Amino acid sequence: MSNAVEAHSLLSEFDVFLFRSGRHYKLYEKFGSRELRVDGRVGVYFAVWAPNAQQVSVIGNFNGWNPHSHPLQVRWDSSGIWEGFIPGLENGEVYKYHIHSSTGERLEKADPFALHAEVAPKTASIVATTWYSWQDSEWMYNRREHNALDRPYTVYEMHLGSWMRDPKDPNRFFSYQEIAERLVPYLQEMNYTHVEFMPVMEHPYYPSWGYQITGYFAATSRYGGPQDLMYLIEELHKHHIGVILDWVPSHFPGDSHGLYKFDGTHLYEHADPKKGFHPDWQSYIFNYGRNEIRSFLISNAFFWLDRYHVDGLRVDAVASMLYLDYSRKQGEWEPNELGGNENLEAVSFLKELNEAISKYFPQVQSIAEESTSWPGVSRATFNNGLGFGMKWMMGWMHDTLSYFKEDPINRSYHHNKLTFSSVYAFTENFMLPLSHDEVVHGKQSLIYKMPGDEWQKFANLRALYLFMYTFSGTKLLFMGGEFGQTSEWNVNQSLDWHLLQFKPHQSLKKFVSKLNEIYQSYPALYEKQFSPEGFFWIDLEDKANSVFVYCRRGHDWENDLIIVLNLTPVVRRNFRIGVPHPGEWELLLNSDDMSYNGSAVGVKKQVSTDPTFWMNQNQSFSLDLPPLSGLIFKRKIKK
């Protein structure tokens, strides 16, 4: 057994003041456990917030899990912080906090600030460090440019445990380092600018996909330790790929070792179940009105941006935070002080979060998964917005998938589903997501949402992707969608990589890689991706033919691109297209090209305009439109 707990503190009076006022954004430098040298002796310092506890002690293998052996000392300042130094302990020590609550309960809790945890189903915390000798200085120096809103931003969304597994042992997870060896070259081949990891924070229940978090500061140990995840991020940065993490400040599970009733009271969650319990997820909602909780959550956001060099946070379930009546029936919620259904405390928290990120990490992005018409989600807080950099465009996703599910013979009756989102496309900085939520729970894979025989399914999906990449906004595609995964996503197994032995899947993967390349290569697709000046319809009324024509524009009109979609299986011969500029236009991409397993309907590689007024344009040209296809044309610039 090691020595008794000694008095020691890393917390200044100013630290405690900031914590209690909700303004301490780096609590991870003070709370939790850390190996220190005090008076020449190595040991571990512990600090935990449990204001309603009668006693808090550290238990672990080192003391036989004896709750009476190593009691911490409560601070004199009524902050509710318990702390102390135990000589003889080192990194790697397994521990929990034993909490004797004010009501007499005896609780064993994992450390809310632990940097590492045992592999589930074990639940104890592990003393660890996040020190790492980073080798990504070039990326960090330039990442403001990589993450800017007027730069290409194409995201591969993935779940680490089910992207790829060991073919020799399908039940074995690859480690963070093994993932790095495979993921980095794959993303390079696919030309993605960013990767988004579904939650990597420690979670006890694997099928929750990581969204039921118990260890907010601990990278899940399923794939290795903190430095192993840092290595993965570093390798991505070395190869010019940004990293976004899913972040879940909206709710947490009721596991006995987690945050729920941490000191025997509703400490992290709101005590009122109308505000503190989430009926959909059977989980608990943070008390955003409590200053210490704001410090905890903003510190957690800073932690991943600071210690792990993360380039962005995609904030999960923002709508559930904003509305008091979210997923609640009449009588299950109470209006705010103004009589409305807005959660004013959550609104205030989100604004403070984004203001803090913008101030201290101006080179990163915060991205909201927000499914309602809440105004100004991605507008600055000084303009009464929430301050996010981007917002998922859920309406575009639902309307587009709904349209493409229709048999082409019926699409003329649903024409507006593909055009309606342009009405509100510039009210926010929108990201176009085809996310994991669309390929689970009986919704089918993307390829099987498409109508028709196999050839038509792939042709439809290529046309959908071309529409996605040429519509205004940044892009996100969930893993497997790039090669036409046929089954729904299953968190318990690898993607169906064997499908790539078949030409339709190979060709789709090649096509998505080409779309990513084109999106990054042509400024018309990204320079004004959030501005109405960057997009205009040339023809959105051709319901009879299910043909759509539009133009994308950047800072220089000479770089304009024309996009033509023919979303029926009918070849349109000598179809006239109006264009804004005279001259020669070159075919940049044809989703029906034979190299993408298309039908080989001939499309001219170059067309010249004539002064025929068409589609309200003074110039036009004629060409054959392939079936179920998308075409991109660029102006030929005379040298």
Query: Which of 29, 228, 316, 345 is labelled catalytic?
Result: 316
Spacing of C-alpha 476 from chain mean position: 9
Rounded CA gap, 285 and 316, in Å? 13
> Is-contact 91 131, C-beta < 8 A?
no
Can you tell me which residue has the tokens 């997501």? 433
Rounded CA gap, 132 and 115, in Å? 13
Question: Angle, nearest 10°, between helix axes 291-306 and 13-21?
Answer: 110
Identify the CA nearest to 14 among candidates 30, 2, 32, 38. 30
Question: Helix, strand or coil for residue 204?
Answer: coil
Cβ atoms < 10 Å from Cβ of 359: 9
Does the annotation count 118 as an active-site position? no
Tell me the residue type at 311: D
Rounded CA gap, 368 and 393, in Å? 10
Does the annotation count 369 as an active-site position? yes
User: Strand pairing partners for 630?
Assistant: 565
Q: What angle do CA 495, 496, 502 make, to 5 degrees?
A: 145
> Is-contact 365 390, C-beta < 8 A?
yes
Question: Helix, strand or coil for residue 243?
Answer: strand
Query: Which of 29, 157, 369, 593 is labelled catalytic?
Result: 369
User: Strand pairing partners for 36?
Assistant: 43
Question: Helix, strand or coil for residue 323?
Answer: strand
> Is-contact 535 551, C-beta < 8 A?
yes
Residues 6+ apart with CB under 8 A from 581: 557, 560, 609, 619, 635
> Is-contact 144 363, C-beta < 8 A?
yes
Q: What stretches of 421-545 show up as alpha helix (H) in DSSP?
A: 446-449, 454-470, 503-521
Question: Helix, strand or coil for residue 130?
Answer: coil
Identify the CA nearest to 542 among candidates 570, 515, 506, 503. 570
**Residue 108, CA atoms < 13 Å, CB-side half-sphere:** 12
- 3-class SS string, 60-102: EHHHCCCCCCCECEECCCCCCEEEEEEECCCCCCEEEEEEEEC
> Is-contact 541 515, C-beta < 8 A?
no
Tokens of 335: 């209006």
Rounded CA gap, 247 and 330, in Å? 30
Tell me how far apart the 2 most distant CA atoms of the chain are, in Å. Answer: 91
Q: What angle do CA 362, 364, 367 make, to 5 degrees?
A: 120
> Is-contact 181 514, C-beta < 8 A?
no
Can you list the pairs that 169-175 forms with residues at least 24 positions away whose Cβ atoms lie under 8 Å?
170/493, 170/494, 173/222, 173/223, 174/223, 175/223, 175/224, 175/228
Active site residues: 316, 369
